[in-house]
Amino acid sequence: MMCYSILGPFFPNEAEKKNVSNTVIGMIFGCYAVFNLLSSLLFGKYLVYIGTKFMFVGGMFVSGGTTILFGMLDRAPDGPVFITMCFLLRAVDAMSFAASITASSSIVAKAFPNNVATVMGSLETFSGLGLVLGPPLGGFLYQTFGYEVPFIFLGCLVLLMVPLNMYILPTYVDSTPSQHSFWKLVTLPKIGLLSFVIISLSGSFDFLDPTLSLFVLNKFNLSAGYVGLIFLGLALSYAISSPLFGLLSDKIPYLRKWLLVSGNIITAVCFMLLGPVPILHIESQLWLLVLLLVVNGISAGMSIIPTFPEVLSCAYENGFEEGLSTLGLVSGLFGAMWSLGAFIGPTLGGFLYEKIGFEWAASVQGLWGLISGLSMGLYYIVEHWRRKRCEPQNTLHTEEERTSLLPHRI
């Protein structure tokens, strides 16, 4: 995650020196999400054939290598050659990242079938820390040693993890390919709605990347360093709360659905108050903004952590076989939907910020989260109502079967 987040503080400035326009810089960042989306679906489908351990370790190896090579791009000629190499390396890095994340989710679900949410919540702590530590570490290494060192340092760090994981990780063998497809998975009504929730949550996170810093700089006249500290509140609250919600999801499975719905609604309210939306006539204040970002991080953990076990349990309930093939499909779908949100969020956010300002743009993003949360809540209510209606019929059939098995009187 540090390799993913390291570019922000200094790459745009370096790219401008290479005669790259702001539009193309945005495309270099955006292509990562596109290739991550496509690769997640592909690796999820063929996980059984490739193998979880090989996919995870291989993804790490390629990611470490491309990170180091990205650090050499300052030596590339200006203009088209530099731009082409940026797109190529970002695309390969995105594919290797998708391979590792898809495999890791499957390994977690296979190794800890009864504690999937708890373990994934714990891992999200380290994902959050990686996102938080990447920009300041990258900025420090760049200012101290130049462009190449941040990438070489982190790339080598990832490569060092390869032999360690080769030794530690178990090998899971499942030679049975799935009889189902991504299309069958995503067309299940519940999983379709959960996919919409994942896209919404991912989009809300990445919406803030191109918009919040500009809003804070213009509104409160803060320096760039203080803006980074504001982002810290969101990332740390998410990282700290995720294990707790993972534990709750595993210990009390019934809570998952309501954590998910409540988290979406709270996230929507936070976004509507970030500006705040002009119709509320509330003055924008820095302390309120920071508080809302902290609450938003907690509500994001509340929503995101239960989604993977919910998708997995829904797949099993609808006839998907238990094994690596289904785990691969679910992991790939989760990664693909997250990447789609990561592409839509900043793209739509940047456009709306330019056209209607941050206050209204954040409110539109909040409305998206509100719709996804209410849709999921309505689905769960209808699902509960249908099950309550089926219970008396099932009881009646059971009683009739028991009566038929009793010996007849002569």
Q: Kindly give the confidence (pLDDT) of every residue in the chain, 410 residues in length, as a single tens digit, with 9 standing for 90 and above.
A: 888 777 766 777 778 888 887 677 777 877 888 898 888 888 888 888 888 889 999 999 999 999 999 989 888 888 888 989 989 999 999 999 999 988 888 888 888 888 877 888 888 788 878 877 777 788 788 888 888 888 999 999 999 999 999 988 888 776 565 566 677 888 888 888 898 988 888 888 778 776 777 777 777 776 655 666 777 778 788 888 888 888 888 888 888 888 888 989 999 998 888 878 888 878 878 888 888 888 988 998 888 888 888 888 888 888 877 777 777 788 888 888 888 888 888 777 777 877 888 888 888 888 888 998 899 889 888 888 887 777 665 554 554 444 444 444 43
Q: How many whole angstroms from its chain centre is CA 345?
A: 12
Instruction: Return the C-alpha torsion angle 303, 308, 311, 315, nearest 10.
Output: -170
Query: For residue 265, which of 204, 353, 186 has the smallest C-alpha distance?
Result: 204
Instruction: Say if residues 8 and 135 touch (Cβ distance below 8 Å).
Output: yes
Q: What is the CA radius of gyration of the chain?
A: 23
Which architecture characterizes domain 1-170 according to CATH?
Answer: Up-down Bundle (1.20)
Instruction: Say if residues 155 and 3 touch (Cβ distance below 8 Å).
Output: yes
What secondary structure letter does DSSP report for 409?
A: P
Helices (H) and strands (E) in the chain, counts: 14, 0
Query: For residue 219, which of 273, 281, 272, 275 has the smallest C-alpha distance?
Result: 275
Query: For residue 342, which of 66, 98, 6 has the smallest C-alpha distance?
Result: 98
* CA–CA distance, 308 with 201 (Å, rounded to integer): 13
Domain ranges of the chain: 1-170, 180-398
Assign a CATH topology to domain 180-398: Growth Hormone; Chain: A; (1.20.1250)
Instruction: Say if residues 204 and 299 touch (Cβ distance below 8 Å).
Output: no
87-117 burial string, b = 16+ CB within 10 Å, else e?
bebbbbbbbbbbbbbbbbbbbbbbeeeebbb
- CB-hemisphere CA count at 13 Å for 231? 27
Neighbours of 325 (CB within 10 A): 24
Token output for 197:
């929730």
Whether 1-170 shares its CATH topology with 180-398 is answered yes
